[in-house]
Homo-oligomer: A and B are copies of this chain.
Amino acid sequence: MENFTFRCATKTIFGRETEKQVGQEVKHFSSKILLHYGSEHIKRTGLYQTVVDSLNEAGVSFIELSGVVPNPRVSLVRKGIELCRKNGIDFILAVGGGSVIDSSKSISAGVPYDGDVWDFYIGKAKPQNLLPVGVVLTIPASGSEQSDSNVITNDDGQIKGAFGHPDMRPVFCILNPELTFTLPSFQTACGCMDIMAHTMERYFTNSKDNSFTDRLCEATLKTIIYNLPIALAEPENYDARSQIMWAGTIAHNDLVGTGRIGDWANHIIEHEISGLYDIAHGSGLAITFPAWMKYIYKHDLSRFTQFAVRVLEVEMNFENPERTALEGIRRFEAILHEASLKTTLSGVGIVDDRFEEMASRCTENGSNTVGQFVKLTKQDIINIFNIAR
């Protein structure tokens, strides 16, 4: 077990109709805020009006900035920073999913900084005095509602940048599972894949003797695997939506990574795919993870066997543990298929002409490796792309 420091001070407000409390919660921090969201969708569902009513009731005034897109762009972040500065705003309320939250976090870091916000993503500067961010979550997936990091895409949509800061965790997140009833099946499935990915990036580790964290990971993975088919079959099943939403938050606030070094190869590789092809992050992860598992499982057979037995409920083959491990990977992929996720690049229309380019980009022209569980070279990544072909 590795030494660790863990602190997540985000206040979770969970349950039916909790979005009505947003004004009261914001009021502890500010009376003039940026209300940041994606599309007009939240107006159609009534969420926008509920939030506005709650803010008004609490005497909180706001400036609006909508237009956040999946793989959120730095151009809108810059616009948000200007808006906050011009209007003396010191709090950002994100109403939406991971893209809106990440865009809000980026604005919160950029407002007090003199230079351009992209400096944080290229390591040229470190953020200080971040503005507080609050969240009303509509998509369980990114875990950004309690995480200390964000991912933003540059203007031409082809490069993703990320950075973190301990003060970046939102001060509160409001989680009402009812708000996820209208999520289309594809987004529900992509979200669940993202949640499982956050857990598995921490589960597949070389850090030993850390069985409590293993069990927390397994609890999270089993919760998603059990509830995803229910949520797809019954979109308004409150209980299934609840379990997914709460597990999605815990999966990425670092609790399930305590005492261990995470891997993150799949996130890094996937960011190249979704950066280049603008597919959903969860959809990309559903492609990379099975291929990565098939490519590296022999690195630690006992870990993949444990994954198979404890998470996928494969009966242990004591004579041939490798069969157990492989059956676990097969079942994992089958779960993705049952959720109508594609697990091949060709399945989402990506052909093989840019494998080399993507592998090159995430390894800095082959001079670096990617991941910790197995350190993948550029050629390894090309091999994984070929498995996922």
Contacts and interface: CB of A to CB of B under 8 A. Distances in A.
Contacts of A15: 1-4
A50 to B, nearest CB: 16
Tell me the number of copies of this protein.
Answer: 2
A218 B239 CA distance: 19
Contacts of A238: 1, 209
Given A14-B258, A242-B259, A258-B14, A247 B6 contact: no
B1 A6 contact: no
A363 interface: no
A119 B91 CA distance: 39
A218 B18 CA distance: 28
Contacts of A14: 3-6, 258-259
Contacts of A209: 238-239, 242
A117 to B, nearest CB: 27
A12 B7 contact: yes
A231 to B, nearest CB: 13
A91 B302 CA distance: 47
A216 interface: yes
Given A1-B239, A3-B16, A6-B12, A223 B246 contact: no
Contacts of A11: 5-7
B7 A242 contact: no
A159 interface: no
Contacts of A255: 250, 255
A246 to B, nearest CB: 6
Centre residue among A2, A10, A18, A219 by max chain B CB count within 10 A: A219
Interface string A201-222: 0000000111111011011101
A9 interface: yes
Contacts of A31: none
A215 B11 CA distance: 22
A18 B1 contact: no
Contacts of A222: 215
Sorted nearest first, the 7 A-B pairs with minimum C-beta distance are A3-B15, A215-B219, A9-B9, A209-B239, A7-B11, A212-B223, A6-B12
Given A5-B12, A215-B219, 18 more contacts: A1-B242, A3-B14, A4-B12, A6-B11, A7-B12, A8-B9, A209-B239, A210-B243, A212-B220, A212-B223, A212-B243, A212-B246, A213-B246, A215-B218, A215-B223, A216-B219, A219-B219, A255-B255
